[in-house]
Homo-oligomer: A and B are copies of this chain.
């Protein structure tokens, strides 16, 4: 309605998944809530980008450099899992079965969007492989056209370096029904079948 309230609604409505209606509800919640909360959130937001930096080793984002994953000595530092972005890193890491290191590309090859090999964080990966005598690189980009192209790029960039390069398996997701799997997933599941 008036200046400051409308401005706050406009700012919040820019966040993904938050329309004007949700933004309006959030603003009324803020007005009702303890002012201390809005001020804490505000201060954290102002300072957020200053606190977070890219790990110079793996390009993970955190408030430490090198990041807590790179400095964790309980992790297998001979295995590196290559992911597209930080949410993917979190998803693999929170699964709890993978206990190696990571490498974040911050994107996938996508010529239509103008993203070429030089825009991805691949040089640093090659450098890490040579420097740290990495034993295995697991390419965990998503199984899409861009993800597969990026996996190929990584395979080619690694070339003849003495390191095993693997790709995560694609197929029918666990617990799902075959009936609802798309044709290409089923095709891949059949193609990559294992002897039992």
The interface of chain A, by Cβ under 8 A from chain B, is 1-5, 7-8, 11-12, 14-17, 22, 24-26, 28-31, 35, 37-49, 51-52, 61-64, 67-68, 85-87, 90, 93
Contact = CB atoms under 8 A, between A and B. Distances in A.
Contacts of A86: 28, 31
B52 A5 contact: yes
Contacts of A52: 4-5, 31
A interface SS class: helix
A188 to B, nearest CB: 27
A38 B68 CA distance: 24
A115 to B, nearest CB: 14
A44 B45 CA distance: 10
Which 4 A-B pairs have CB atoms at the shortest separation, nearest pair first?
A42-B45, A42-B46, A35-B49, A2-B62
Contact of A68 (B1, B31, B35, B85): B1
Query: This chain: how many copies in the complex?
Result: 2
A29 B17 CA distance: 11
Given A28-B87, A43-B42, A49-B39, A63 B16 contact: no
A45 to B, nearest CB: 3
24 contacts: A1-B90, A3-B62, A4-B44, A4-B48, A8-B48, A11-B37, A11-B41, A11-B44, A15-B29, A16-B25, A16-B29, A24-B90, A25-B87, A31-B49, A31-B52, A31-B61, A35-B48, A38-B45, A38-B46, A39-B45, A41-B45, A42-B42, A42-B44, A46-B46
A112 B14 CA distance: 39
A26 B37 contact: no
Contacts of A28: 85-87
A2 B64 contact: yes
A28 B52 CA distance: 11
